[in-house]
Amino acid sequence: MFETLEDYPVDPIMIGADYFAQDPRTDKLNLTVGIYQDAQGKTPVLQAVKAAEQRLVDTQLTKSYVALTGDPDYCALLGQAILGDTWGADWVAAQTAGGAVALRVMADLLAQMPKAPSVWLQTPTYGNYIPILTAAGARFSQVPYYDPIRRAITFDQMLDGLAAAKSGDVFLMQGICHNPTGADMTVEQFDALLDLLEARGIVPWIDLAYLGFAQSFEADCAMARKIAARFPECIVCVTLSKSFGIYRDRAGALFVKTRAADRERMHRAISAIVRSGASHAPDHGPSVVRTILQDPELKTLWLQELDQMRARVAQVRADIVQTEMQAFSSQALGYLASQSGMFSLLPLTESQETALTRDHGIHVVKGGRVNVARLGTEDIGWLIRAAKTVMSTP
């Protein structure tokens, strides 16, 4: 029977890890990874997480199921932390297994609506959006977001592209540390985008994956809060994988702001979709997050550790730019300093990207995404030299 099984595409990030493992060279560098790494190349468990886990081991009395929409305390603490004053009774919330499941539940819900809206996506954007929307059977279209060769956001083209969106369609954007470009809209651009969405009746859907990696947890929530303050209907997905370093523990959430008359139906719809899909969310990661957010001491410790991760990523970006200027008298990668988060795109053509791996042992995600958090001090010169060499040949 399985002879007829189709050949499924492999995620470029997962395949990047395979190619790296198969590369027989010892002097090779894997910049494809999607996680934070410290200067030693480790992704440590945060001390705040360790302390919260110990507390859970000592005090947790049951491991029975949580509700289909998860633990209301977790949802409320997280909603309050992210949405601030804009959090309240007008939100329907669900605890999910990471951000991917929050996205999938919402994609299912949109696809199942009687008049299914189109979801508008930025190009390039997080590589799992299209597989998630496709698996859900949701309709989607794309607008240009960033030009890697010009190293700039294509803001006007994005707005022009949205001219084809209809009232009731949904625009899926990232809240901070845009993956894979590292390029976030300016405040003015973001305000202009919201003006357009509001005027055209397009519903904003914001995905938050790197809170705390740009300026601070509080400051990085600004885009989500602005949307929440302005729109009677909007969608927020969040993953805590990166901000708490609990990737495998799968903590995330879906928040949907609705009009009062629609709230009960929204809650039932989300519960039904969760039940038939991932079913009850895992609770260890979310319980760790809840324990940290509830305890002022643990929260302070976590925010300090998050700030250290943010500072390291910013330092690596600054070091790349400074080393390039001092040792190579060039500024081809100067744009990296004004971007944020772990990821950026190298301004490479397809053949230059191939040469970077073939000739210099540097592995990047297809399209040129690099994880700057993977770079140790000794790797920076290697990357700059290799990038400059491949860029000198068209």
Ligand X SMILES: Cc1ncc(COP(=O)(O)O)c(C=O)c1O
Span near ligand X by CB under 6 A; candidates 93-101, 213-221, 286-294, 377-385: 93-101
Least separation in angstroms between CB 241 and ligand X: 4
> Cβ neighbours of residue 246 under 8 Å, at least 6 residues apart?
49, 240, 285, 288, 289
The reply on whether position 95 binds ligand X by CB under 6 A is: no
Count of other CB atoms within 10 angstroms of residue 261: 7
Shortest Å, Cβ 5 to ligand X: 26
Q: Are 215 and 187 in contact (CB under 8 A)?
A: no
Among the listed residues 298, 305, 269, 310, the one whose alpha carbon sits nearest the alpha carbon of residue 77? 298
3-class DSSP state for residue 305? helix
Q: How far is Cα 27 from Cα 190, in angstroms, rounded to an integer?
A: 42
Does 98 bind ligand X (CB under 6 A)? Our answer is yes
Candidates 31, 33, 34, 46: give the one binding ligand X (CB under 6 A): 34
Number of residues in the chain: 394
Q: Is 344 in the site for ligand X (CB under 6 A)?
A: no
- State the helix-helix crossing angle for 187-200 and 222-230, rounded to 10 degrees: 30
Q: Is 223 or 386 the residue whose CB approaches ligand X more closely?
A: 223
The reply to whether 207 sits near ligand X by the rule CB under 6 A is yes
Choices 44-52, 95-103, 220-228, 253-261; region in contact with ligand X by CB under 6 A = 95-103
* Residue closest to ligand X (Cβ): 98
Starting at the edge strand found earlier in the chain, the sheet holding 203-208 runs 91-96, 252-257, 234-239, 203-208, 170-174, 118-123, 139-144
Q: Report the nearest approach of ligand X to the CB of residue 209 (Å).
A: 4
Q: Which stretch binds ligand X (CB under 6 A): 92-100, 181-189, 192-200, 275-283?
A: 92-100
Output 109 or 380, the one with its CB closest to ligand X.
109
Cβ proximity to ligand X: between 25 and 248 the closer is 248
193, 358 Cβ separation under 8 angstroms: no
Nearer CB in complex with ligand X: 34/384: 34
243 binds ligand X (CB under 6 A): no
By CB under 6 A, name the binding residues for ligand X. 34, 98-100, 126, 174, 179, 207, 209, 239, 241, 252
